[in-house]
Structure 1
Amino acid sequence: MRLAPTDEQTALAERLRELGAALGGDLERRERSQALQPGDWRRCADAGVFALPVPEEYGGLGMDPLTCALALEGLGRGCRDNGLLISAGAHLWAVELPLLHYGSEEQKRRHLPALVDGGAIGAHAITEPGSGSDALSLSAVARREGDHYVLDGTKRFVTNAPVADLFIVYATVNADLGFTGVTAFLVERDTPGLTVETRFEKTGLRTAPWGEVVLRDCRVPVANRLGAEKQGSKILATVMAWERSLILAPLLGTMQRQIDECARYARSREQFGSIIGRFPSVSHSVVGMQVRLEAAKLLTYRAAWDLAQGVTTSVFPEAAQLETSESAVQTFLDAVQLFGGLGYTTGTDAERNLRDALGTRISSGTSDMQRKVMAEKLGLTVRARTTADGRHTP
């Protein structure tokens, strides 16, 4: 694995850092209203953010996963709007990516160019009121009726739902089949029977709007099925490998920006006749921030490298998600402590970053779920089996 970025990768990351620094205007007001900034979304599209992983034949740039990670890290280094970055990640890795891997040629040519150029926004609808971490225990159903499926169910906490034009919706074609019956569908915003409700407010990542997607007798053409029938679990596994590897890449840049701000403050703030950076409690805290960040970077880069080799079953996607999210929370907690009253003031970067980071420990699977998946991949968990007399044995 190449650790040093190429000149081209460095230039791309710097270009997106400069773009990010120009985004996030009126952030405090938009946080209060939980609003995505359409102008910033358009600027990201124009700069090629949504084109990064998509082949040129569909309007993209065809970048490899590691280049995507470095580019998004640069974007996060400049951009204060963490919600925008999460919305972009959901669009990239949970909508564009599965379309690219599992969509028919007609589906890709119909949807990818608009997703790439910012003309359409994507949303990934899987979580339900009764199934969160156990994502494949779905109650949403899809009944085949001739050349259509009829979808019924409710999806909750769907990032981008209030502004999305295209949804990837998961439903089971046979509840008795469990996760093996799950199937994915492309459902457009104006499809009769699909409605979006916004009745939840978030603590952080408020500019990444989310909502409930309600499906009632929603008729979807068979041609809108993504992949084969009963292939939904495989599609979701691919999505999770890419999303867990790369959706928090911008947060690496955010952490570096926060660490830089902490270091500057520690070099200028005086207490007890000395700059506070000379106090071991302060300097060691900032050093700890940097060490955690470097570990998160290496895990993210390794996860991206594996994806480029076609490996989606290693522990690195979950390790990257776990380490980055946990490190971010601790780093921003330490930043609030270092800045004191200023850090605890609403609207400051430290306060906002901490609220936003808490959400990253939940999205794409909670921290405990990341550990559970890693344990399974390491062969540490064995499914119990039921004997004839009803006893459960290893």
Structure 2
Amino acid sequence: MDLTLSEEQRMIRDMARDFAEKELAPRAAERDEKEEFPSEALRKMGELGLLGLMVPEEYGGSFVDTVSYCLALEEIARGCAATSLIMAVHCTTGCYPLVRFGTEEQKRRYLPKLASGEWLGGFALTEPGAGSDAAAVATTAVREGDSYILNGVKTFITSGNQARLLNVFATVDRSKGAKGITAFLVDTTRPGFQVDSIEKKMGMRASHTAQIVFQDYRLPVEDRLGEEGEGFKIAMVTLDAGRIGIAAQAVGIARAAFEAARRYALERVQFGQPIAQFQAIQWMLADMATGIEAARLLAWSAALKKDRGERHTKEAAMAKLFATEMASEVCDKALQIYGGYGYSRDYPVERYLRDARVTRIYEGTSEIMRLVIANQLLREV
């Protein structure tokens, strides 16, 4: 496997890095403190093509390979984890299902707006009673002539109060379980859609997470994504792609923490010398750097399999599991290197730790990732 980046991949990485360092990192702490949604930054990201990375050029996107997407997302996460979450959800769980499963008419109607950033996309699968057990979806979709009527509640929806287009999963027949789940393209400006509440979160505070309600929400049959009963498959395929992005995001957060800790270790003097001279600190930095590199390669490996059109469920789960667990460990070590100052909100490492923690939960918990990996391994025998 050739891991040499192409000129185009380096350009994408460098563009995202430059944007993150100039536009995101300087205000990341302030946005976190105020829980301020980064609307202006997202507008600029749309202009740069960062919100259309999963969208083919014929629909207004800047379509790139998945390794390039990982490179860009890692850099954005290094600058501001919350903004990278909005980007990841928009690209992989907002745009990708439409690219993969949408009709030509749906693609031409919605993708140009999503690719440009005019519209923000999202993914509404989780419910109060359907988290890891995604097949337990209780939101209903009842067919009435040429329309469907949606009723139900979705929770922990990233950008749920900001997105214009949501991929929503509802059941057309509860007795069929997963085979009754169907996907729909929901325009959030139509009657019957309501934002019930915004979560007050530990981390990723500039990314808004909403509980949303559908009350007799009517949409045309033309806005069904795929056929009836295909929703669960669409959700799982989408999450395979999304987990690669979350792995890259975790690498970016970990890099930010590692680089901050390394700088601090070289500057902080105790016992007459920089603490970087102490073996205890050196070993922590060595473990941190090794974990980051290994996680990045796992993400790239899954990305390459996806781009070759190969099944990548196991590889995506491995990448997400390892990278997100690694990110929490790296951020914790970074805070330890800072000592008491690391626990202060005057320094960034406590924010990195808070932001990293949720990556082990969304788009599949670490425990579910282990189940997915084990199931795939046993099928290979």
Which TM class, normalised by the smaller chain length? over 0.9
Letter in 2 for 1:225: R
**Retained in 1: the 8 A contact 2:160–2:208?**
yes
| Per-residue CA distance 1:154-178 (angstroms, 9 max, x = gap) | 0000000011111111001100000
- Stretches of structure 2 that go unaligned for 5 or more consecutive residues are none
Partner of 1:377: 376
Q: Tell whether 2:60 aligns with 1:59.
A: yes
1:124 shift after superposition: 0.6
Partner of 2:107: 108
Partner of 2:236: 237
Query: How far apart are the structure 2 equivalents of 1:380 and 1:333?
Result: 36
Partner of 2:50: 49
Query: How far apart are the structure 2 equivalents of 1:143 and 1:20?
Result: 44
**Retained in 2: the 8 A contact 1:159–1:210?**
yes
Query: How far apart are the structure 2 equivalents of 1:109 and 1:267?
Result: 53
- Distance change (3 Å), C-alpha of 1:15 and 1:287: same
**Retained in 1: the 8 A contact 2:342–2:349?**
yes
- Distance change (3 Å), C-alpha of 1:162 and 1:263: same
Q: Tell whether 2:37 aligns with 1:40.
A: no
What are the within-5 Å matches in structure 2 for residues 198-347 of structure 1? 198-347=197-346
**Retained in 2: the 8 A contact 1:238–1:312?**
no
Secondary structure (helix, strand or coil) at the match of 2:343 reads coil
1:23 shift after superposition: 2.3
Letter in 2 for 1:39: E
**Retained in 1: the 8 A contact 2:16–2:72?**
yes
Secondary structure (helix, strand or coil) at the match of 2:167 reads strand
Partner of 2:81: 82
**Retained in 1: the 8 A contact 2:197–2:212?**
no
Letter in 2 for 1:5: L
| Larger mean Cα displacement after TM superposition, 300-309 or 66-75 | 66-75
Letter in 1 for 2:75: G
- Distance change (3 Å), C-alpha of 1:76 and 1:33: closer
- Distance change (3 Å), C-alpha of 1:356 and 1:50: same
| Per-residue CA distance 1:121-143 (angstroms, 9 max, x = gap) | 11111100011011121111111
Q: Tell whether 2:13 aligns with 1:9.
A: no
Partner of 1:195: 194
Q: Which 4+ runs in 1 deviate beyond 6 A?
A: none
Letter in 2 for 1:61: S
Partner of 1:23: 23
Secondary structure (helix, strand or coil) at the match of 2:212 reads strand
Query: How far apart are the structure 2 equivalents of 1:190 and 1:70?
Result: 33
1:29 shift after superposition: 4.0
| Larger mean Cα displacement after TM superposition, 17-26 or 251-260 | 251-260
Partner of 2:73: 72
1:37 shift after superposition: 1.3
Secondary structure (helix, strand or coil) at the match of 2:170 reads strand
Letter in 2 for 1:112: L
Query: How far apart are the structure 2 equivalents of 1:306 and 1:73?
Result: 19
1:255 shift after superposition: 2.1
| Larger mean Cα displacement after TM superposition, 356-365 or 305-314 | 305-314
1:53 shift after superposition: 2.1
**Retained in 2: the 8 A contact 1:241–1:312?**
no
1:10 shift after superposition: 1.3
Query: How far apart are the structure 2 equivalents of 1:92 and 1:27?
Result: 21
Q: Tell whether 2:150 aligns with 1:151.
A: yes
1:380 shift after superposition: 7.3
**Retained in 1: the 8 A contact 2:302–2:312?**
no
Query: How far apart are the structure 1 equivalents of 2:313 and 2:226?
Result: 23
Query: How far apart are the structure 2 equivalents of 1:246 and 1:260?
Result: 21
**Retained in 1: the 8 A contact 2:82–2:206?**
yes
1:151 shift after superposition: 0.7
Query: How far apart are the structure 1 equivalents of 2:97 and 2:277?
Result: 50
| Per-residue CA distance 1:237-259 (angstroms, 9 max, x = gap) | 11111000123413323322322
Query: How far apart are the structure 2 equivalents of 1:258 and 1:277?
Result: 15
**Retained in 2: the 8 A contact 1:28–1:347?**
no
Query: How far apart are the structure 1 equivalents of 2:275 and 2:68?
Result: 38
1:34 shift after superposition: 2.4
**Retained in 2: the 8 A contact 1:13–1:75?**
no
**Retained in 1: the 8 A contact 2:73–2:88?**
no
- Distance change (3 Å), C-alpha of 1:346 and 1:162: same
**Retained in 2: the 8 A contact 1:84–1:208?**
yes
Query: How far apart are the structure 2 equivalents of 1:61 and 1:30?
Result: 28
TM-score (norm 2): 0.96
Cα RMSD between the aligned structures? 1.6
- Distance change (3 Å), C-alpha of 1:136 and 1:29: same
Alignment length, in residue pairs? 380
1:59 shift after superposition: 0.7
Letter in 2 for 1:253: G
1:51 shift after superposition: 1.7
- Stretches of structure 1 that go unaligned for 5 or more consecutive residues are 382-394
**Retained in 1: the 8 A contact 2:51–2:117?**
yes
Partner of 1:122: 121
Partner of 1:366: 365
Query: How far apart are the structure 1 equivalents of 2:379 and 2:349?
Result: 38
**Retained in 1: the 8 A contact 2:199–2:208?**
no
| Per-residue CA distance 1:303-342 (angstroms, 9 max, x = gap) | 1001001123441100111111100000000000000121
Query: How far apart are the structure 1 equivalents of 2:197 and 2:235?
Result: 25
